[in-house]
Chain A
Amino acid sequence: MALNREFVGRTYESSEPYEVSRVKIREFAAAIGESNPVCHDREAALAAGHRDLVAPPTFPIVFSLSSTSGALADPGLGLDFSMVVHGEQRFEYRRPIYAGDELVCTSTVTEIRSVGRNEFLTLRSDISTTTGEPVCRTYNTIVERGGAA
């Protein structure tokens, strides 16, 4: 089924701030094999000039997925989750994410288009601190296989 184009431009806010913990940064870094001490050891991070543990570049997926699920799960959109694959992903940083950050995420459906038999939907998420400092912008394109057929 074709996706509902009326969703383009709709915006979704994260329900509550995401608190970036040292434990989660270490867990995520270990899971992806990132062994740099600045992701694991606070003393090493401070010695390297960071304010605390540094999150690996793809870390925002941990919390940005859940904040975008509000958009994607809306029955009015017409998305068949069982046919969804990840198409593209991008992270654009204003500054690194550190342990101790409290982050909020605002996601906007920026584009819905058909390519052949597939539907492509792009979400832009603006991630900032609870005090309004911009941290990162992410772009997430999902593909609904056969959606445009």
Chain B
Amino acid sequence: MAATIMYDEVEAGQQIPAVDYRVHRLDLVKYAGASGDFNTIHWNERYAKAVGLPDVIAHGMYTMAQGGRFVTAWAGDPAAVVDYGVRFSSMVVVPDDDEGATITISGVVEEKLEDKRVVVVLTARSGDSRVLSKARAVVQLS
């Protein structure tokens, strides 16, 4: 276990700067294959529109994984995340163009716990929507 962030150097209220994650259709295809979630709304525009969606949407778990990646990049070790939960509050619409969609994630250290653990609360937005709410990770620091 080797988080590169030291517990003693972190303060409650500390901001973790925002990162933009670009999402293209190819990313959703890769995620479908890696996760085994082949729900048609995540890769077929014709089907997505037929069931009332604006376009193909990202897997909620793909968005959650970007939040996870944000936290592990900050902590320096994927094994440092001991608890991670989110509520899916809005969808990430991924158009079939060069731009794709952008998920912007930022964080704040909300609380310092015992045993060198901290609570990190995430904000995840795409376009005008907040795509995750109650996004919270407990991270084991060094």
- Which residues in A have some Cβ–Cβ distance to B below 8 Å? 24, 27-28, 30-34, 36, 38-39, 48-50, 54-58, 61-62, 65-66, 82, 85-93, 96, 139
Binds A, one of B5-13, B57-65, B94-102, B120-128: B57-65
Interface size on B, residues (CB 8 A): 37
B142 to A: closest C-beta gap in Å: 11
Using A38-B79, A90-B83 as known contacts, say yes or no to A33 and B69 having CB atoms under 8 A apart: yes
Cβ of B81 and Cβ of A33 under 8 Å apart?
no
Cβ of A93 and Cβ of B37 under 8 Å apart?
no
Which label, helix, strand, loop or mixed, suits the secondary structure of the A interface?
Answer: mixed
A133 to B: closest C-beta gap in Å: 16
Cβ of B61 and Cβ of A55 under 8 Å apart?
no
Residues of A within 8 A of B69 (CB): 32-34, 56
CA distance A62 to B2 in the complex (A): 25
CA distance A54 to B72 in the complex (A): 12
Cβ of B79 and Cβ of A96 under 8 Å apart?
yes
Residues of B within 8 A of A36 (CB): 72-73, 76-78
Nearest residue, chain B, Cβ from A26: B34
A57 contact from B30, B34, B72, Cβ within 8 A: B72
A130 to B: closest C-beta gap in Å: 21
Cβ of B88 and Cβ of A58 under 8 Å apart?
no
Nearest residue, chain A, Cβ from B1: A49
Cβ of A88 and Cβ of B85 under 8 Å apart?
yes
Cβ of A86 and Cβ of B60 under 8 Å apart?
yes
A41 to B: closest C-beta gap in Å: 13
Q: Could you list 9 further interchain pairs (A-B, Cβ under 8 angstroms) beyond the known A56-B68, A58-B61, A91-B83? A: A27-B34, A55-B78, A87-B88, A88-B86, A88-B87, A88-B88, A91-B84, A93-B81, A96-B79
CA distance A56 to B79 in the complex (A): 7
CA distance A24 to B84 in the complex (A): 21
Interface membership of B36, Cβ < 8 A: yes
